[in-house]
Amino acid sequence: MDAHHLPNIFSSIVSTACRVVPDLAHVDPSRILVCVRKLPPTRLGETLGLRQAKARRGHDPVFSTMSVGGREILYVITFNVSLVSTAAPSRQALETVMHELWHIAEECDGTIRPARHGKGFNATVAELHDIYLSVGGRPVPTFEPHARVRLRHLRGKGRPGVLSVRRGLSIAATVPKAWKQAWTEDDMRERTAVLSKLLPPSFSYVCPHGHEVVRFRKLSKASSCAACSKTFDRRFLLSPNKKTPT
């Protein structure tokens, strides 16, 4: 069986989102290179703006250029492969797509929107997510653990761009001068792997009605079953699943 080409799947969702969501109309998807790889479990996605020249005292502004298949790339968005697992929470993958796209500046010129993470940012992301679905955008597909998936990353010669925006915190880092360079498709690496080999350890929970919920993080507070009640409800508390995971 052919592997599911995750970079193409995410690229096509990115393109659709830019076309159908009015607030993303400024984003030109042809300027984005989409990668999918294993990232640390808490980092669902990251966006590099290749023109985010952040000059600091004593440092030159640094930026990278990238050309892939004749297109000039201004942004590299990397998604965590765990997003396509059937164990990922339902809105997470699509919200991460919207989150990363919202980091792209209004000018779509390789710089990052000057917006901080927080409640306002998350509210916008949730809205973009809902609008995309309401106009018929398709959700990010999920795959069973045994599925074979195609991944893409940039090879390790440092990373392009100077600003890495991570979920939860924005970090402006000045990249050493040695990393300032031109990137091409030769720097792209693709490989095929079995999804389960790429996923972090998971934790299984069960509600009193027998619904099973799998999470990549241990529940830190009392949580109730979303299938039984949309809002928190003590009657449907999740407890660790004793039976062996399938």
Task: State the residues that interact with Zn ion by CB under 5 A.
Answer: 165, 167, 207, 209, 211, 225, 227-228
- Give the largest Cα separation in the chain, rounded: 62
Q: Between 65 and 241, name the residue whose CB sits nearer to Zn ion.
A: 241
The distance of closest approach from Cβ of residue 182 to Zn ion in the complex, given in angstroms and rounded to an integer, is 26
Identity at 151, one-letter amino acid code = L
The distance of closest approach from Cβ of residue 227 to Zn ion in the complex, given in angstroms and rounded to an integer, is 4
Q: Between 35 and 147, name the residue whose CB sits nearer to Zn ion.
A: 35
181 vs 217: CA distance, rounded Å: 38
The distance of closest approach from Cβ of residue 147 to Zn ion in the complex, given in angstroms and rounded to an integer, is 26
The distance of closest approach from Cβ of residue 167 to Zn ion in the complex, given in angstroms and rounded to an integer, is 5
The distance of closest approach from Cβ of residue 210 to Zn ion in the complex, given in angstroms and rounded to an integer, is 7
Q: Between 84 and 97, name the residue whose CB sits nearer to Zn ion.
A: 97
The distance of closest approach from Cβ of residue 32 to Zn ion in the complex, given in angstroms and rounded to an integer, is 15
Q: Between 9 and 207, name the residue whose CB sits nearer to Zn ion.
A: 207
Q: Between 112 and 151, name the residue whose CB sits nearer to Zn ion.
A: 112
Evaluate whether 205 touches 240 at the Cβ level (below 8 Å): yes
Q: Between 24 and 149, name the residue whose CB sits nearer to Zn ion.
A: 24
Which distant-in-sequence residues (6+ apart) come within 8 Å of 235 by Cβ? 208, 224, 228, 229
The distance of closest approach from Cβ of residue 196 to Zn ion in the complex, given in angstroms and rounded to an integer, is 25
Q: Between 64 and 164, name the residue whose CB sits nearer to Zn ion.
A: 164
Which distant-in-sequence residues (6+ apart) come within 8 Å of 189 by Cβ? 152, 153, 154, 155
